[in-house]
Chains A and B, each alone.
Chain A
Amino acid sequence: MGNQNREDRILSSLLESRDNNEHVIDVPKDRVYILITNIVTFLIGILIVLLIWQGFSVLYNEYIGSSLISFPTPLEAFDRLFELLSGSNMFGLTIYDHVFASLKRWTIGYLISAVIGVLTGLILGYCTRLYSVGIIPVHILQMIPGLAWIPIAMLIFGLGDESAIFIIAMTAMAPIIINVSSGIRKAPPVIMRVANMVGSSRLSIFSNILIPYASLDIINGLRIGLANGWRVLIAAEMVVGVAVGLGFSISQATYVVDYVSAFVCIMVICAIGLFVEKVVFVSIEKYIRRKLGLEGGA
């Protein structure tokens, strides 16, 4: 609908300027329109989730569940969220402390994994011979569920932050390596021939050819790694004995039967994940696409 209207408007202005024999016209970029459409679509998606949640909690509380402990409704959860945001305590600390602690573990674990993963991926992707052997351990790593690292983390680091960080790093690594190395191998053979013909140095081949061709895959790997890391962090915090964090709060809420707080934590976790995915990574990807000349513009 929207597009049809837009094209129609453009056609009208084109027909008006037809007497100057024009058939190309500048189209004002309708940024606001696009932004609003995106936001509305997003909000509708969220609304659907809330509706399902509301519907289920009503259904549960009225008909299914025992009346002792009620299933939190979205409204209750939002109430508690605002309470917490305005500074009230949850298990001895504010929600900001919990969020900050989780984010810190996530960032450190993820950065370690990103650096190791990208470098390993670049090397594996570049050396064809190494790749066929080297990718096997990476695929094995990929198969290990994040929480399976708990015993090893405990063995090496004991209870605490380091264990959580270790688990995040191990889970985020495999998708990064796999995507980076397969991206590096995507440069078309003819382009590699051009590079060899003009006598490019290895550094120039990486920076001018291999990395640009791989950049979308690199971003994709980093993105999957980030999401994996985030999910496993929450789970890890529930078991590796840290005293602060969103995952810790959820497990704590379960013990003290404070389900509303647990739901608040889940909401915060989703919000942070969505922000990183929809705002940070989508903008990076758009920027790269434009830079690569894959999408319009000069």
Chain B
Amino acid sequence: MMCILEAKNVYKVYLDQKKTKGRLVLNNVSLKVDEGEFICLIGPSGCGKTTMLNLMAGFETPTRGEILYRGNQIKKPSWERGVVFQEYSLLPWMNVIENVKYGLDGKKLSDKEKDQIAIDCLTMVGLSEFAEQRPNLLSGGMKQRVAIARTLAMDPDIMLMDEPFSSLDEQTRKRLDNEVYDIWLKKQKTVIFVTHSVDEALLLGTRIVMFSQSPGEIIKEWKITIDHSKRDLATSEFTLLKQEILSSLQTCSCADNYTNNSQKIINIEG
């Protein structure tokens, strides 16, 4: 497997608003992402997951350490690393299809080609009939799907998704999870997916990476090699694993306990 993204001993310090306090947000994070992986990042709120994605996308630079994309240091954002943001990120004065087309703004394509790509991507998230609507008339879930379609239109190499469905109800979320999984399967993309839901991570991830409470560091990893279609959260394997992840989440406030046995990898064979 080719390594697509590699974080090497990354530290990130943020200044508070008055610039009188510095806060360590990421503490020596190293992570290697191989092509085709579906990585789920979990960890308590405020532990630096979004920060990690921002660094990987190139919106910000690490205070120390480096992040390599296909061997090159990341200097600025690029369409190759497409982000689906945690917050609302559509342009209110563009209708749905224009918003999706905006993902192609930096590419030299004819308007016709852009239209075609945009429609294809909208169809992929099941919103083709809403192409002409303004985002303010869509529900939260539909908005997030438009944002996903926009990122798909960019045809990125790797998709960085920041809790895309955290504000949705259980039912909708499951449906959209399936959509993301389908896209991953069809397009053979690499996905890094931040979530608070252990179930979501168990159903989607080929690897689950857990961050400690702030300052964020990676305290545990689980590889899940079971085929997605065979995953059933009711089986004992998964309930046990879920128990383990949940209890790790609970105790991860005392991150020190874990620094010694970090990078613990558990394999579950299908």
Contacts and interface: CB of A to CB of B under 8 A. Distances in A.
A2 interface: no
A293 B133 CA distance: 10
Contact of B79 (A190, A199, A204): A199
B89 interface: yes
Nearest to B103: A198
Interface bracket on B: 20 to 34
B104 A194 contact: no
Q: Which has the most chain B C-beta neighbours within 10 Å: A191, A201, A294?
A: A191
A190 B91 contact: no
A201 B102 CA distance: 12
Interface bracket on A: 20 to 34
Contacts of B95: 298
B104 A198 contact: yes
Q: Is the interface of B mostly helix, strand, loop or mixed?
A: loop
A190 B81 CA distance: 15
A193 interface: yes
A128 interface: no
Contact of A193 (B83, B88, B105, B134): B83
A199 B85 contact: no
A88 interface: no
A221 B83 CA distance: 35
B134 A190 contact: no
B102 A197 contact: no
B132 A298 contact: yes
Given A198-B105, A199-B106, A200-B105, A193 B77 contact: yes
Interface of B: 57, 59, 76-79, 81-83, 85, 87-89, 91-95, 102-107, 132-137, 150, 154
Interface of A: 190-191, 193-201, 204, 208-209, 212, 291-294, 297-298
9 nearest CB pairs, A to B: A199-B106, A293-B92, A197-B77, A293-B134, A196-B77, A200-B105, A292-B93, A198-B105, A190-B89
19 contacts: A190-B87, A191-B91, A193-B59, A194-B85, A197-B77, A197-B79, A198-B103, A198-B104, A204-B105, A208-B102, A208-B105, A209-B91, A292-B93, A293-B93, A293-B135, A294-B92, A298-B133, A298-B134, A298-B137
